[in-house]
């Protein structure tokens, strides 16, 4: 039991936060709870603290919308929050699509999709930055927040809170895409929101730290990591994971049997290094 | 032959880094262009005018589409579950709030809870405020229209359901008495909508007794015409003010220098 907890503690915590956030939003609409109102695009916590999606606001800025004070405060709150805890912590701790793509990735590993010979990953992980740039250009040209009208994240999340409609088909599309077309396809290659938080997360404080001395090169971490290019230092150097593309999902920490990976604060990690 | 050889070898050499970079960028730009066209075509269709009724205080539809962040706070604030967020399959601009008065109309709460919660100003508080107080009676969600063919009051059957349902009855809807010439001894009690007072709340549409409502709300832009600058109410001092900024447009038609009678002498060629 202790081992089970040790191997899945962050996964359990992540599912707990993801689901509780959904439940709180749902309760706000269905039963008038005030803890977390609105949805991931813009919300109010306890009817006081605003929080708004900075990427949605950026698109609105490009679309030429007048920016209201409430919105700007909400954007500031969210930006500071994710600057501190790691931009893509949103992706693995909040975003509901993460549960869909994690399931696809899990299935992939279980049925051995990755082992088919000749199937190469045909796409670059930089697509998301292209989509990000494109969404801003289109927002400017069309005068509406371009990604917000196609975003499966908003569609599914809004759907769960306010009524799904055909939103479930979006989940199926992403699941099948990640399972059969491209490993980590949506979250790891295409999603511009993930790209946006990758850029924001470059500066965040909470980092996964690698301790090379303990590493036995089993590569379980690289196997389970949804963005395994960020783990380039495994077995080579004791470094923190500094890429903004790391989602701080902590799966690598859990699967490591040798205590070679742990969470740390960025500056403390640096100091440790210079101290040695 | 010996000269050709090194050339062939050269072709087989891997691409230079610069060339690879340029090709990769070209590929990226190409793919971005394709997806950009598809993406914008979809959005253009998805945001096309949809005859939607927006919550009170909503700014102009074009601006509304770029300003609304689709958070649903207005929907949650509405105590009557009037407001809905467009979901996939509704064929409406995704995630934006709207209401269908025949299902649930806007009950025109005096404290307008849906408007102040809007974080982006897509619902503009100042547009529903008079003298620093929220005033739902000046909201403009749409305009009610009567189909005289299916309204039974126009047939001569007594019905004032819409008039009774109107929250500002007497100013937005009045009833006009007209002699029923068919019977000679009865009166028509016809509802008349006054566009300047109607808020488009849709309570009339909700109350209408006919199978499909004979009175219904449309976005004001759709429900109204426009006389334009050529016609002025000369008896209306306010309307006459429009003339102050009017510019004179001179059109000149060049007169033919030929004599009219010459047309008889040119063998009727001009006629064919």
Q: What is the DSSP string of A58-111?
A: HHHHHHTPPPPHHHHHHHHHHHHHHHHH-TTHHHHHT-THHHHHHHHHHHHHHH
The total of other beta-carbon atoms located within 10 Å of residue A258's CB is 13
Which among B46, B89, B90 has CB closest to A149? Answer: B46
Q: What is the per-residue pLDDT for B263?
A: 66
Residue B174, min C-alpha distance to chain A (Å): 38
Nearest by Cα to A113 from A183, A185, A171? A183
Tokens standing for A50?
């605003």
d(CA B85, CA B99): 9
Fold of B48-139: Alpha-Beta Plaits (3.30.70)
A216-223 — which CB contacts under 8 Å span 24+ positions? A216/A257, A216/A258, A216/A260, A218/A257, A218/A258, A220/A255, A220/A256, A220/A257, A221/A251, A221/A252, A221/A255, A221/A256, A221/A260, A221/A261, A222/A252, A223/A109, A223/A255
pLDDT tens-digit readout, A170-223: 999 999 999 988 888 899 999 999 999 999 888 888 888 898 888 898 888 888
pLDDT tens-digit readout, B30-60: 989 999 999 999 888 888 877 899 999 999 9
Asked if A171 contacts A100 with a C-beta cutoff of 8 angstroms, the reply is yes
All structural domains of chain A with their residue ranges: 2-199, 205-275
Tokens standing for A196?
């946006």
8 Å CB contact of B119 and A134: no
Q: What is the per-residue pLDDT for A91?
A: 92
**CA angle (A24, A194, A163) in 5-degree steps:** 35
List, as ranges, residues 191-220 from A with C-beta within 8 Å of B: none
Residue A52 at interface with chain B, using a CB cutoff of 8 Å: yes
B44-47 — which CB contacts under 8 Å span 24+ positions? B44/A142, B46/A149, B46/B93, B46/B94, B47/A142, B47/A144, B47/A149, B47/B93
Residues of chain A with pLDDT under 50: 275-276
8 Å CB contact of A165 and B28: no
In residues, how long is chain A?
Answer: 276
Q: What is the per-residue pLDDT for A276?
A: 42
Helix (H, G, I), strand (E, B) or coil at B9: helix
Residue A130 at interface with chain B, using a CB cutoff of 8 Å: yes
Chains A, B: CB pairs < 8 Å:
140
Helix (H, G, I), strand (E, B) or coil at B192: strand
Residue A59 at interface with chain B, using a CB cutoff of 8 Å: no
**Chain B contact probe: residue of A47, A48, A68 with most B CBs at under 10 A:** A68
Strand-pairing partners, residue A208, are A263
Same topology, domains B48-139 and B142-225? Answer is yes
d(CA B158, CA B179): 13
Residue A167 with chain B: CB contacts under 8 Å: 87-88
Q: What is the per-residue pLDDT for A116?
A: 75
Helix (H) or strand (E) holding B95: none
Which among A39, A60, A163 has CB closest to B67? Answer: A60
8 Å CB contact of B73 and A170: no
Q: What is the pTM of this model?
A: 0.83
Nearest by Cα to A170 from B253, B88, B127, B189? B88
Residues of chain B with pLDDT under 50: 1-2
Residue B50, min C-alpha distance to chain A (Å): 15
Residue A156 with chain B: CB contacts under 8 Å: none
Residue A157 at interface with chain B, using a CB cutoff of 8 Å: no
Asked if B192 contacts B129 with a C-beta cutoff of 8 angstroms, the reply is no
Q: What is the per-residue pLDDT for A205?
A: 86
What does the DSSP 8-state code read for residue B16? Answer: P
All structural domains of chain B with their residue ranges: 17-46, 48-139, 142-225
What does the DSSP 8-state code read for residue B121? Answer: S
Residue A270, min C-alpha distance to chain B (Å): 34
Q: What is the per-residue pLDDT for B80?
A: 93
Q: What is the per-residue pLDDT for A117?
A: 64
List, as ranges, residues 67-86 from A with C-beta within 8 Å of B: 67-68, 70-71, 74
Which among B39, B95, B121 has CB closest to A158? Answer: B95
Residue A163 with chain B: CB contacts under 8 Å: 84-85, 87
ipTM > 0.90, yes or no: no
User: Is the domain covering B142-225 a CATH 3.30.70.20 domain?
Assistant: yes
């Amino acid at each position: 039991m202790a081992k089970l907890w040790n191997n899945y503690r962050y996964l359990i915590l992540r599912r707990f936060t993801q689901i509780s956030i959904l439940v709180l939003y749902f309760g706000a609409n269905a039963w008038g709870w005030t803890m977390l109102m609105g949805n991931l695009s813009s919300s109010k916590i306890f009817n006081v603290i605003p929080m708004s999606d900075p990427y949605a606001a950026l698109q609105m800025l490009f679309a030429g919308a007048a920016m209201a004070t409430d919105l700007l405060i909400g954007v500031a709150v969210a930006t500071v929050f994710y600057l501190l805890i790691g931009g893509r912590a949103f992706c693995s701790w909040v975003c509901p699509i993460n549960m869909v793509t994690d399931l696809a990735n899990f299935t992939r590993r279980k049925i051995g999709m990755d082992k088919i010979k000749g199937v190469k990953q045909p796409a670059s992980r930089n697509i998301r930055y292209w989509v990000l740039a494109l969404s801003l250009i289109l927002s400017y040209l069309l005068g509406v927040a371009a990604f917000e009208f196609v975003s499966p994240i908003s569609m599914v999340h809004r759907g769960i809170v306010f009524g799904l409609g055909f939103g479930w088909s979006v989940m199926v599309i992403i699941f099948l895409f990640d399972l059969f077309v491209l490993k980590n396809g949506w979250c790891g290659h295409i999603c511009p929101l993930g790209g946006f938080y990758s850029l924001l997360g470059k500066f965040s404080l909470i980092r996964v730290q690698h301790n090379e001395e303990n590493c036995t090169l089993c590569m379980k971490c690289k196997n389970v990591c949804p963005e395994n290019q960020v783990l380039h230092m495994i077995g080579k150097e004791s470094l923190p994971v500094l890429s903004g593309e790391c989602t701080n999902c902590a799966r690598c920490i859990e699967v490591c049997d040798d205590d070679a990976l742990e969470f740390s604060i960025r500056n403390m990690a640096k100091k440790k290094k210079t101290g040695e | 032959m010996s000269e050709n050889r090194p050339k062939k070898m050269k072709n087989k050499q891997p691409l230079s880094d610069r060339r690879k970079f340029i090709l990769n960028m070209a590929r990226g730009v190409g793919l971005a262009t394709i997806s950009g066209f598809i993406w914008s075509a979809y959005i253009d269709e998805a945001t096309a005018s949809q005859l939607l009724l927006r919550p009170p205080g909503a700014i102009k539809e074009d601006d509304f589409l770029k300003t609304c962040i689709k958070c649903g706070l207005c929907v949650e604030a509405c105590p009557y579950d009037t407001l809905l967020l467009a979901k996939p399959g509704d064929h409406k601009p995704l995630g934006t709030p709207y209401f269908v008065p025949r299902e649930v109309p806007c009950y025109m709460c005096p404290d307008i809870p849906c408007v102040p919660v809007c974080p982006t100003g897509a619902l503009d508080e100042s547009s529903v405020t008079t003298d620093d107080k929220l005033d739902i009676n000046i909201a403009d969600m749409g305009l009610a229209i009567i189909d005289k063919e299916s309204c039974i009051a126009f047939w001569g059957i007594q019905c004032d359901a819409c008039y009774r349902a109107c929250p500002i009855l007497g100013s937005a809807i009045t009833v006009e008495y007209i002699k029923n010439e068919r019977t000679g001894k009865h009166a028509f009690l016809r509802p008349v909508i006054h566009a300047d007072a109607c808020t488009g709340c849709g309570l009339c549409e909700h109350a209408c007794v006919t199978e499909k409502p004979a009175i219904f709300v449309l976005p004001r832009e759709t429900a109204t015409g426009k006389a334009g600058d050529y016609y002025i109410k000369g008896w209306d001092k306010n309307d006459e003010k429009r003339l102050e900024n009017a510019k004179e447009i001179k059109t000149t038609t060049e007169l033919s220098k030929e004599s009219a009678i010459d047309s008889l002498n040119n063998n009727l060629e001009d006629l064919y």
